[in-house]
Amino acid sequence: MPTEVFILNGVNLGTLGQRRPEVYGSLTLSDIERMLEGKFPAVEFEFRQTDYEGEMVGFIREAAESGGLALNPGAWTHYSYALHDALEAVLVPKVEVHLSNVHARESWRRHSVVSPAVDAVVAGMGASGYVTAVQYILSRSEDRR
């Protein structure tokens, strides 16, 4: 039976490929989605992106019945206690993903209010960080079965 994995992308990630490619890479979200579908053909992906925090909370709640979720919260990483609380309530494998190495950038980017509510964090691996996140989710989903 295929596993459903939610890939959730937050604020400003809809501009990937255009916004600061020297930091975030030249791939678009569509490119990343195609890459994941190609690497994991047995996985049913639910890809979502929003610039609205409340909508993201709803997406996280929807993922509660899935095999797991990977979330790139963008700037919400640093201040969204709403995302933190929503993630705490969802009992599936959860991974926080960042394309850039947030720990090597501005000091304000080094603190995440989301990290305490997820199982793992991937940062600085570019688009391949999503692959690592999905691999982790699938391994945790297998353990839960």
Model pLDDT for residues 75-113, shown as the tens digit of each residue: 999 999 999 999 999 999 999 999 876 765 666 666 799
Residue 98 a catalytic site member: yes
Query: Of these residues, 84, 98, 130, 136, which one is catalytic?
Result: 98
Contact 45, 7 (CB under 8 A): yes
Catalytic one of 24, 84, 130, 136: 24
CATH code of 78's domain: 3.40.50.9100
Please state the domain count of the chain: 1
* Structural domain harbouring 85: 4-144
Interval 13-44: pLDDT, tens: 888 666 665 655 568 899 999 999 999 999 99
Reported confidence tier of residue 1, pLDDT bands at 50, 70, 90? very low
* pLDDT tier at 2, thresholds 50, 70, 90: low
Q: Is 24 a catalytic residue?
A: yes
Core vs surface per residue 107-145: b (16+ CB within 10 A) or e: eebeebbbeebbebbbbebbbebbbebbebbbebbeeee
